[in-house]
Amino acid sequence: MSLKVGAKTDVGLVREANEDSYLVDAPLFVVADGMGGHIAGDIASATAIDLISAHSDDARAADPGSLAALIKGANRAILNKAQSDPQLSGMGTTCTLVLFDAERAHIAHVGDSRAYLFRNGELEQLTDDHTLVGRLVREGKLRPEEAAHHPQRSVITRALGVDDDVHVDLSAIDVGEGDRVLICSDGLTSMVEHAQIAEMLETESDPQQAADRLVSLANSAGGEDNITVIVVDVARTDAGANPAQSGAVIAPPREDTPSEAVASVDLPADEPVRRRPIAKIFVATGILAVLALAGYAAVRFALSNSWFVGVNEAGNVAIYQGIPEEIAGLSLKEEHEETAINAADLPEFIRIDIEDGIKVDSREEAETTVRNYERFVQNEAPRPRAGTNDQ
């Protein structure tokens, strides 16, 4: 197997600086999309790429542990740098890494940059977006087309540089001749429709031309963000590929490279927001039935075992005992614990849910939920990346 590569990064038409960084060090390819004020995002993504580049030999073993360790190392490097310089505090980056061995592509991923497989005319996304809307899509609550235009689409729930402990999604796919792998930042996917990306990958056979033209598409659609694209074509070594062409042709990895089967290993998600369907009608009907049958004392008992997270009169997120709904004008809730989280600091579509009341199974679960909101407000909310030009 040999790989032919094209890559391009571009500041786009709106941003002042390019905070994306990428690495083409075949068979290792990485895209990192930095965030943070001024130069910090740039430094975050470059720090990740530098660390991965410096330790790329560690990754050639292509086992999921070493790829995750590499990304965790980059996470630590960013945290260390941010701690040493207050101006860099709060910086972070996405990181989507693809490593090829003799027959597979191994993927390690955090954030909302993406890896895709283009095969037989079909474009398949290989990574989950670690975004709030990505989560809603996975739960079937939002259609992918709606997510693509959602105002909160770039609020990411996982990044390097946020926490000591970062969960890395790991997976691997078999690849063969004719397969094309695309790795890109959201500056491409938030501007260019899935079908348009597929069409370009279908019509443009040269990987460098394909990368250039995808960037041009994003810019002609507005270029609202930095755009980074890597296109990797898998070809047989004897396929007559011409090294003089724009892409690099590389040798297959060393024979001693272990290529042990790597199942898709999804580490536990650490999404900051736990959304639970609220069975309002069921609850209300149940309470009415209990009222009718057993009277108020029984209702009190039932309510003492019900918990929800809501917003109190001061506008803060609070833990309540009872249910959010009033029944026949009766308030059936009691504030149990107020948090320091101002509901106004949460994205609108989450706030609306909390204002309705998010029902949980226990007080412990309520506390976990508000802790997740706390982390969200501390870590993510100050860095919405869409809709604001340069924070």
Sole window of 26-34, 95-103, 145-153, 261-269 interacting with Mn ion (rule: CB under 5 A): 26-34
> Which residue, 131 or 185, has its beta carbon nearer to Mn ion?
185
Sole window of 71-79, 99-107, 217-225, 257-265 interacting with Mn ion (rule: CB under 5 A): 217-225
Q: Is the CB of residue 286 less than 8 Å from the CB of residue 306?
A: no
> Which residue, 104 or 158, has its beta carbon nearer to Mn ion?
158
Binder among 212, 225, 325, 380 for Mn ion (CB under 5 A): 225
Angstrom CA distances, 241 to 112, 234, 254, 316, 322, stand at: 33, 11, 20, 62, 69
> Which residue, 186 or 212, has its beta carbon nearer to Mn ion?
186
The mark string for 119-158 relative to Mn ion (x by CB under 5 A, - otherwise) is: ----------------------------------------
> Which residue, 105 or 227, has its beta carbon nearer to Mn ion?
227
Q: How far apart are CA 299 and CA 279, in angstroms?
A: 17
> Which residue, 62 or 191, has its beta carbon nearer to Mn ion?
191
Q: Within positions 30 to 69, which residues make up the interface with Mn ion, using CB under 5 A?
A: 33
Sole window of 85-93, 135-143, 177-185, 358-366 interacting with Mn ion (rule: CB under 5 A): 177-185
Sole window of 83-91, 220-228, 327-335, 374-382 interacting with Mn ion (rule: CB under 5 A): 220-228
Structure tokens at 225: 């963000």
Q: Within positions 85 to 104, which residues make up the interface with Mn ion, using CB under 5 A?
A: none
> Which residue, 187 or 223, has its beta carbon nearer to Mn ion?
187
> Which residue, 218 or 318, has its beta carbon nearer to Mn ion?
218
> Which residue, 33 or 380, has its beta carbon nearer to Mn ion?
33
Q: Is the CB of residue 341 less than 8 Å from the CB of residue 377?
A: yes
Query: From the CB of 95, what's the least distance to Mn ion, in Å?
Result: 13
Sequence length of the chain is 391
Sole window of 182-190, 242-250, 254-262, 291-299 interacting with Mn ion (rule: CB under 5 A): 182-190
The values of phi and psi at residue 166, to 5°, are -120, 135
Sole window of 82-90, 117-125, 221-229, 335-343 interacting with Mn ion (rule: CB under 5 A): 221-229
CA neighbor of 42 nearest in space, from 391, 327, 298, 305: 391
Binder among 129, 179, 186, 325 for Mn ion (CB under 5 A): 186
The DSSP element (H or E) to which 144 belongs, if any, is: helix 144-148
The values of phi and psi at residue 342, to 5°, are -80, 125
Angstrom CA distances, 127 to 124, 237, 266, stand at: 9, 28, 11
Instruction: Say if strands 114-119 and 2-10 run parallel, antiparallel, or are unpaired.
Output: unpaired
Strands of the chain, DSSP E: 2-10, 20-25, 28-35, 92-93, 95-100, 104-110, 114-119, 122-125, 169-174, 180-184, 227-235, 248-250, 307-311, 316-327, 330-342, 358-360
Query: From the CB of 252, what's the least distance to Mn ion, in Å?
Result: 33
**Can you give the binding site for Mn ion, defined by CB under 5 A?**
33, 185-187, 225
